[in-house]
Amino acid sequence: MKHRLVPGSPARRAITLGNNVLLRREALSCRAAAGSHAFTRTGHTRHKSSSPPPAEWSSLPHLRPSIHPHSSPSTSLPMGEQLRHMMRLLPHSVAICTSASGTLPRAMTVSSFTSLSLSPALVTFHVATPSRTLDAVRSSGLLNFHVLAGDGRGARAAHHFTGGNVGGDVWSAEGLHVAGLSVAGVERSERGEVVVSPGEPPLLMGDGVTYVLRCRLFDEEPSTGGVLMVRDHAIVVAEVVEIVETSEKTDGHEQFGLVYADRHYRMLGRTLIRREHNDVQHGMTLAEELTRRGQEAA
Q: What is the pLDDT of residues 126-184, one digit of tens each?
A: 999 999 999 999 999 999 999 999 999 999 999 999 988 876 689 998 899 999 999 99
195 near 187, Cβ under 8 Å? yes
For residue 192, pLDDT beyond 80: no
Enumerate residues 6+ apart whose C-beta is below 8 A from 76: none
How sure is the predictor about 298, in pLDDT bands with cuts at 50, 70 and 90? Answer: low
The pLDDT of residue 132: 96
Say what percent of the chain tops pLDDT 70.
76
Q: What is the 3-state secondary structure (H, E, C) of 247-285?
A: CCCCCCCCCCECEEECCEEECCCCCCCCCCHHHHHCCCC
How sure is the predictor about 267, in pLDDT bands with cuts at 50, 70 and 90? Answer: very high
Identity of the amino acid at 1: M
For residue 58, pLDDT beyond 50: yes
Pairing of strands 13-15, 56-60: parallel
The span from the CA of 218 to the CA of 238, in Å, is 5
Helices (H), 141-266: 152-160, 173-178
This model's pTM is above 0.95: no
